[in-house]
Structure 1
């Protein structure tokens, strides 16, 4: 009776060895495609995006294990600095020979980075740089996988019209992100005969005293209807100060764009308390079992890997980051990308000059594939 068991065991071991050998051969035959990721890892959006990007790679190849290509991600922390983001992109192009770059987070950073992408013919794929002034007309190698800020203008104008407000004052941060939406707002308000008598532009470096001075100016001007277009960093300070100035009381009305409303659940109780009664717009995400399942898995993974960060809810930018990875993975496979580098120019090599990097051999093909990808 022992012999059949031994034969079965030997056959089973042989089968495992053959199976493992075949899988190893498949892995060896895969084309590894380097992709850069540039994020501000000290920000809420950056932390969430990093986790979603990591999950996206695992999820994608779990259901597409027959693909002949595999993305290899190289992540750089740019903080919120434009220079740091630009340096990170140069590093990824020079030292990792990346075929595409996911990021950077902010529109101000993207303004400079997309110029580098155009010169090196490397697609810059951003899920969070939402300023309408950033477009493919500046560089065809810039691809946005998010809605730009102008998409919310009609919704904002509808709110203003519904309340019958004949006058409104935009309060916006003095950045690429803040300034980019203003022309679209002015046009939308003009169409509904709502005046914009004044625009309050707040630089990022303003301290609380300077912001309060601007709020006092608005009070003296007897303005009471405001539209705030800011990121959470500046917007949260603005509303705390507006409450101190008595401008969050009856007689005042406030609307915020999705730069604030999309992440309001993470700004803290004190800030949320100061914003009671504020109206906000943000993109709608249709509910589905697939989405709820992903949120549950993300929450478990995120709280396990980063227990020190008190974030329990996934935001829209995380979902866009996840989809961005899937889009690039599909595009890479469809394009038949093979490992290649950059074609060097006939000039002396430089560690900082973009001219010394040359042009990506596969960049044009990958760009076409990304732009034609649907899923």
Structure 2
């Protein structure tokens, strides 16, 4: 960065005063070069020398944040502006008012990276960064921006600036053990080149991985060239957008010629964005100097001549303070874009998204504060085709099985309801296992599995289902497969799949047949009124027929007692069509036909009702609602080790009235013996119970909806 920027600074000074618009300027900038490299102590020593011996009105160029930290203190003490186009501010602008950063705000870069992550629906990211002052503010900004788009950062990978090859290999090995395959990288060029070379050797530049480089690392391709391109194939990088103009082309040609002349053997085709920032910084200083007017060295005599260090003997400069004020007000269109300082740094605008393909840096899209990620700068459009590591055009899913990793599957252990999950001869079986393995077998890649029961040495469960779920959070298991209900409090620690079965909570109660069968049961099909009505019609029909027939039909004549008996007998005999009397009159025949039709209906209805009473049980639940249970202070059963005690307490059931049960057999025994009045449990369990004991029990009451059963893991897997 130093050599590239120095060449740009020299060209900027030449171009500014060669410009006809500046021919009448009365001020001139004079450069005093101090080459300190990246050493912070050397930079601080050079700063003291420039202030004390040269009496400069501005210092340009601390490259690193560590250097900027020292020089910012010198600027505060002397009122001399410290201007950097590459280093981050060592603290907030209010604490270092004389440190001016003529580069974009890194927080906007963090927002652009977060938008890129959100665009591809990646749910977890690992920042990989150099552990120095340059990332002190950027990484928290990045994590905050990712949190805004619901992306989790579970691990921050720090690399020491002086890390050896062994240290880098160890770091890469730790990254390989993570599920996350999306990495955001920000480190120095030298460290990054070695890091990516080793990552490629370890197979982490293949399919499935995502590498996003933040600026300033993205300009490694401009600085290092082919060696960096060879080991960073498929990398996505962000860099500030710079409009391609005729002036920029001319500057690039002159810069390349001058740079290669001053640095033979080093190939660089164009100046980096930092170089353009350096170019615009010199123009801004020249404009500010002219606006501030001619100034000479006005460092007054030290008021602390008895100080023990040169730092104590540095005095303030009012001319430099005036120059700072003018610089903050300068605005113009520079090579890097609009030069405008706000909050002690350049106003950020748009970012370019590049993709490394072969030896080319392909622009695949842009990020703007208003439109976010887009394939075009002016209109909303899809990103261009991105070739990810491994020459892959399919968007990576954001996670990979760690190399040589076997999924540790936790399985609940319980004495009952083994239709859902159970261990048999050391192997898990049941509905939950069948569904899980069907999904695994449908995947296009192999997933090594190892089932582990959630049990102690005696084979008993080690705790509740909440304990089992929390064991995933503690990384004892990678996944839990079983009849695990999706609950809000569990989702705070782990993630669930979509439910593979519906669920809810209902009440199971015994049923009883309330009708008693006695010798008089045959009377039950008809009510008393209907019995009396039928008897009256019997007599009435017989009387009507006798009245019509007895004048002309000798069968209806005889002694009075015989005729009275005939009136009653005739109607009853028609029930079985056993009457012997002949009917001669048509009116009598009509009456008898109507009566026979009524008798037929009455007989069939009575037979059907009596059969129902004698053969079909009319079962009624012993309890119909939960309020009745609470009012009677009845005992309530529930499935042991489940979440139901919390729900029952919320339903205002006394804790002393709830009894844990383990199996369908215990359910049946408790309800039959009266130990509990009802059982409250999830519907899948109750259905399994009713499949075995359907004749004596039923589900009643409202359904308390739940999300159903799901499989458990951490957020990176599901």
Same-fold status (TM-score > 0.5):
yes
Match of 1:138 in 2: 95
**How far did residue 347 of structure 1 move?**
2.4
Structure in which a larger fraction of residues adopt helix: 1
Please say if 1:262 is aligned against 2:216: no
**How far did residue 355 of structure 1 move?**
2.2
- Aligned positions of 1:211-230 closer than 5 A: 211-230=168-187
Please say if 1:248 is aligned against 2:200: no
Q: Secondary structure at the match of 1:73?
A: coil
Q: Distance in 2 between matches of 1:347 and 1:196?
A: 50
**More displaced 10-residue stretch of structure 1: 323-332 or 333-342:** 333-342
Please say if 1:315 is aligned against 2:280: no
Q: Distance in 1 between matches of 2:225 and 2:277?
A: 24
Aligned residues of 1:107 and 1:134 also touching (Cα < 8 A)? no
**How far did residue 113 of structure 1 move?**
0.7
Aligned residues of 2:225 and 2:268 also touching (Cα < 8 A)? no
Q: Distance in 2 between matches of 1:193 and 1:257?
A: 20
Match of 1:125 in 2: 83
Q: Distance in 1 between matches of 2:153 and 2:114?
A: 12
Please say if 1:66 is aligned against 2:24: yes
Residues 346, 179 of structure 1: CA spacing in aligned structure 2 closer, same or farther, 3 A cutoff? closer
Aligned residues of 2:34 and 2:46 also touching (Cα < 8 A)? yes
User: What RMSD in Å do the two structures reach over aligned CA positions?
Assistant: 1.6
Q: Of the candidates 63, 71, 76, which is equivalent to residue 105 of structure 1?
A: 63
Q: Which whole-Å deviations, capped at 9, do the CAs of 1:175-229 have from their partners, x for residues lacking one?
A: 1112321111111111111110100011101101011111111212333111111
Q: Distance in 2 between matches of 1:268 and 1:367?
A: 37
Q: Distance in 2 between matches of 1:151 and 1:349?
A: 46
**More displaced 10-residue stretch of structure 1: 176-185 or 192-201:** 176-185
Structure in which a larger fraction of residues adopt strand: 2
- Aligned positions of 1:25-174 closer than 5 A: 45-63=1-19, 64-129=22-87, 131=88, 133-174=90-131
**How far did residue 134 of structure 1 move?**
4.1
Q: Secondary structure at the match of 1:143?
A: strand
Aligned residues of 1:170 and 1:199 also touching (Cα < 8 A)? yes
Q: Secondary structure at the match of 1:255?
A: strand
Aligned residues of 2:299 and 2:316 also touching (Cα < 8 A)? yes
Q: Secondary structure at the match of 1:154?
A: helix
Match of 1:179 in 2: 136
Q: Distance in 2 between matches of 1:309 and 1:342?
A: 41
**How far did residue 351 of structure 1 move?**
8.4
Q: Of the candidates 253, 275, 279, which is equivalent to residue 236 of structure 2?
A: 279
Q: Distance in 2 between matches of 1:248 and 1:269?
A: 17
Aligned residues of 2:225 and 2:267 also touching (Cα < 8 A)? no
Q: Distance in 2 between matches of 1:247 and 1:165?
A: 18
Q: Secondary structure at the match of 2:31?
A: strand
Match of 1:238 in 2: 195
Residues 95, 297 of structure 1: CA spacing in aligned structure 2 closer, same or farther, 3 A cutoff? same
Q: Secondary structure at the match of 2:305?
A: coil
**More displaced 10-residue stretch of structure 1: 263-272 or 226-235:** 263-272
Q: Distance in 1 between matches of 2:95 and 2:125?
A: 31
Q: Secondary structure at the match of 1:356?
A: coil
Higher relative contact order (CA 8 A, sep 6+): 1
Aligned residues of 1:340 and 1:361 also touching (Cα < 8 A)? no
Q: Distance in 1 between matches of 2:126 and 2:118?
A: 14
Q: Distance in 2 between matches of 1:73 and 1:165?
A: 48
Q: Distance in 1 between matches of 2:222 and 2:12?
A: 24
**How far did residue 295 of structure 1 move?**
1.3
Match of 1:346 in 2: 303
- Aligned positions of 1:196-215 closer than 5 A: 196-215=153-172
Residues 271, 306 of structure 1: CA spacing in aligned structure 2 closer, same or farther, 3 A cutoff? closer
Aligned residues of 1:262 and 1:316 also touching (Cα < 8 A)? yes
Aligned residues of 2:131 and 2:161 also touching (Cα < 8 A)? yes
- Aligned positions of 1:3-14 closer than 5 A: none
**How far did residue 305 of structure 1 move?**
3.4
TM-score (normalizing by structure 1): 0.84
Q: Secondary structure at the match of 2:33?
A: strand
Q: Secondary structure at the match of 1:140?
A: coil
Q: Distance in 1 between matches of 2:105 and 2:91?
A: 9
Residues 102, 149 of structure 1: CA spacing in aligned structure 2 closer, same or farther, 3 A cutoff? same
Q: Secondary structure at the match of 1:77?
A: coil
**More displaced 10-residue stretch of structure 1: 79-88 or 213-222:** 213-222
Aligned residues of 2:186 and 2:216 also touching (Cα < 8 A)? yes
**How far did residue 324 of structure 1 move?**
0.5
- Aligned positions of 1:354-365 closer than 5 A: 354-365=311-322
Q: Secondary structure at the match of 2:34?
A: strand
Residues 157, 361 of structure 1: CA spacing in aligned structure 2 closer, same or farther, 3 A cutoff? same
**How far did residue 148 of structure 1 move?**
2.6
**How far did residue 352 of structure 1 move?**
4.1
**How far did residue 252 of structure 1 move?**
1.4
> Considering only CA atoms, is the larger Rg found in Structure 1 or Structure 2?
2
TM-score (normalizing by structure 2): 0.45
Q: Secondary structure at the match of 1:71?
A: coil
Q: Distance in 2 between matches of 1:221 and 1:272?
A: 26
Q: Distance in 1 between matches of 2:296 and 2:85?
A: 25
Match of 1:38 in 2: none
Q: Distance in 1 between matches of 2:264 and 2:226?
A: 20
Match of 2:363 in 1: none
**How far did residue 132 of structure 1 move?**
5.6
